[in-house]
Structure 1
Amino acid sequence: MSGDVIIALDVANKQELSSLLTKIDRKHLYVKVGMELFYQEGPELVKDLKHLGYQIFLDLKLHDIPTTVYKAMKGLAKLNVDMVNVHAAGGQKMMKAALAGLEEGTPSGAKRPLCIAVTQLTSTDQQILENDILIHQPLDQVILTYGRKTYEAGLDGVVCSPLEAGKVKEHVSQDFLTVTPGIRLSGDSADDQKRVTTPKKARTLGSDYIVVGRSITGAPEPGAAYDRVLKEWRNES
């Protein structure tokens, strides 16, 4: 099962989703349902995808007071997804509350979803960090510190760019998961992301999962693009 490559389903509705999945037409896919799709179609769409056999990363990036995040995660746990996330900037108390909500909400006998935290978005660079977020520390150091705080809170891993994946593992733990967006096939545009690399390079740098959107979903032949990503990721000749 190709659970190490996650396809970002960044579409607006069920109709666009159905068209995209028909074009990819591959079995055992791991997909990411983000805010755009979830806010339009809601939990029922997630249930439908699970019924069809997809693994799901529910990418809602929760960031609120601990009680709210706890209650939200308790509800999301019932959807039987495979991975969820929060923003590490919410602090350790919030992250611990997220984990507690997941554990309480997971049905008896079911496996708790992996819980990871976003360190910094791959659209963030040092200039944005300092001028917009007002954090006057090197970007790498912020990500490593957030990674350590996430690990101490008991979460399973972080979202970071592939460029920081190896550093996170070295600084935190080799068993700490790194889920990395910012993946592009050679020749593709980086669009609004700043810290990007190829599937093959991401594997070399230490990514455990890669999240790939437009290089697959925007390709003329999404199925063929997915196969190319998978081949690069697995380092197959």
Structure 2
Amino acid sequence: MTAIDLNSDIGEGFGRWTLGDDAAMLRIVSSANIACGFHAGDPRAIRSTAAIAAERGVAIGAHVGYRDLAGFGRRDLDVASDDLVPDVIYQIGALQALAASVGGRVSYVKPHGALYNRIAHDERQAADVVRAVREVDPTLTLLGLPGSVVLRLAEEAGLPTAREAFADRAYTPEGRLVSRRESGSVLHDADTVAERMLRLVETGELVAVDGSVIRFEADSICVHGDSPSAEAMALAVRERLVAAGVQLAPFAAR
């Protein structure tokens, strides 16, 4: 039986503001990328989300990003290494403590937004993220874009790695994410997305934004939790995979 992980970015509420339905998503996914307070999330939201994940047996990951609440971590920043390394360590440590307080454990790290995109090609910032993860816990798995600089450096440093595909994002013919500033970068039809992900799991193929077919290997599929149709999208993907005999399971040990 083929197996794949299904993950989502959650825990992104802040103060009186909520973003997405975390409880609903945690009934669908097998791994939870929980915000760590820099791009989104506050201690209360982070802790309550970790508690639900731990209760439901969902793997917990640290969703680390730039210190950019106003921009939701989606603004590209040229952060110095002396800042980026401790910033990533700080975020992982915060989630580790909050998760432990409710019986959970952080098992992987997934960079967020602009940081995720930057370290796909930026050697220096990618090395900073790898260094930070290793200094916290070298057994943590680093989740990232297939073929990215950060995954190459992580593997060279002995970190466990996992490759990710985005269910609701378009890809370039080179296997990179289409910028959110471009039309068609985000996919909205749940049935189309579900069928697209089944093809990926069964054949290792994705259709790029220009219609070409690219080879793409993934250990985990991400459905964003902050869109209005997030729950329906994630459920459609899950149901289509399960109906085809695909097993959903975390890529990292809980």
TM-score normalised by the shorter chain: which range applies?
0.5 to 0.7
Alignment gaps of 5+ in structure 2? 67-77, 97-105, 170-182, 188-192, 205-216, 248-254
Residue 219 of structure 2: aligned partner: 208
Q: Structure 1: how far apart are the matches of 2:234 and 2:166?
A: 19
Residue 109 of structure 2: aligned partner: 83
**Aligned positions of 1:177-216 closer than 5 A:** 177-183=162-168, 191-193=184-186, 198-204=196-202, 205=204, 206-213=217-224
Alignment gaps of 5+ in structure 1? 120-142, 158-176, 185-189
Among candidates 85, 90, 101, match of residue 132 of structure 2: 101
Q: TM-score, normalised by structure 2?
A: 0.51
Larger relative contact order (CA 8 Å, sep ≥ 6): 2
Is residue 228 of structure 1 aligned with residue 239 of structure 2? yes
Equivalences, count: 180
**Aligned positions of 1:34-183 closer than 5 A:** 39-52=39-52, 53=54, 54-61=58-65, 64-78=79-93, 79-80=95-96, 81=106, 82-85=108-111, 86=116, 87-91=119-123, 93-106=124-137, 112-118=139-145, 143=147, 148-149=152-153, 151-157=155-161, 177-183=162-168
Assess if the C-alpha contact under 8 Å between 1:199 and 1:232 holds in 2.
Answer: no
Q: CA deviation at 1:72?
A: 1.4
Residue 164 of structure 1: aligned partner: none
Assess if the C-alpha contact under 8 Å between 2:65 and 2:88 holds in 1.
Answer: no
Assess if the C-alpha contact under 8 Å between 2:38 and 2:91 holds in 1.
Answer: no
Root mean square deviation of aligned Cα = 4.3
Q: Structure 2: how far apart are the matches of 1:11 and 1:71?
A: 21
Question: Between the two proteins, what is the percent identity of the paired residues?
Answer: 13
Q: CA deviation at 1:56?
A: 3.1
1:192 aligned partner, one-letter code:
S
Q: CA deviation at 1:77?
A: 2.5
Q: CA deviation at 1:55?
A: 2.5
2:156 aligned partner, one-letter code:
E
Q: Structure 1: how far apart are the matches of 2:18 and 2:226?
A: 17
Change (3 A) 1:144 1:38: closer
Q: Structure 2: how far apart are the matches of 1:219 and 1:74?
A: 29
Change (3 A) 1:116 1:40: closer
1:26 aligned partner, one-letter code:
R
- Residue 142 of structure 2 aligns to a residue whose secondary structure is strand
1:83 aligned partner, one-letter code:
V
Q: TM-score, normalised by structure 1?
A: 0.54
Change (3 A) 1:104 1:144: closer
Q: Structure 2: how far apart are the matches of 1:146 and 1:208?
A: 16
More helix by share: 1
Q: Structure 2: how far apart are the matches of 1:10 and 1:22?
A: 10
Deviation per CA, 1:190-219: give whole Å up to 9, x if none.
95248x872212213131101013799606
